[in-house]
Chain A
Amino acid sequence: AQSVTQLGSHVSVSEGALVLLRCNYSSSVPPYLFWYVQYPNQGLQLLLKYTSAATLVKGINGFEAEFKKSETSFHLTKPSAHMSDAAEYFCAVRNAGGTSYGKLTFGQGTILTVHP
Chain B
Amino acid sequence: SAVISQKPSRDICQRGTSLTIQCQVDSQVTMMFWYRQQPGQSLTLIATANQGSEATYESGFVIDKFPISRPNLTFSTLTVSNMSPEDSSIYLCSVGGRQGVHEQYFGPGTRLTVT
- Range of interface residues on chain B? 20 to 34
- Taking CB atoms and an 8 Å cut-off, the chain A residues in 23-66 that contact chain B are 32, 34, 36, 41-46, 49, 51
Is the beta-carbon distance between A46 and B56 smaller than 8 angstroms? no
**A102 vs B33: C-alpha distance in the bound complex, in angstroms?**
9
The B contact surface, by secondary structure, is strand
Given contacts A42-B108, A42-B109, contact A106 B42 (CB under 8 A): yes
**A44 vs B96: C-alpha distance in the bound complex, in angstroms?**
14
- Range of interface residues on chain A? 20 to 34
Is the beta-carbon distance between A103 and B108 smaller than 8 angstroms? no
Residue B31 interfacial (CB < 8 Å) = yes
Whole-angstrom distance between the Cβ of B97 and the nearest chain A Cβ: 6
A105 surroundings in chain B (CB, below 8 A): 45
Given contacts A44-B92, A46-B103, A49-B103, contact A102 B48 (CB under 8 A): yes
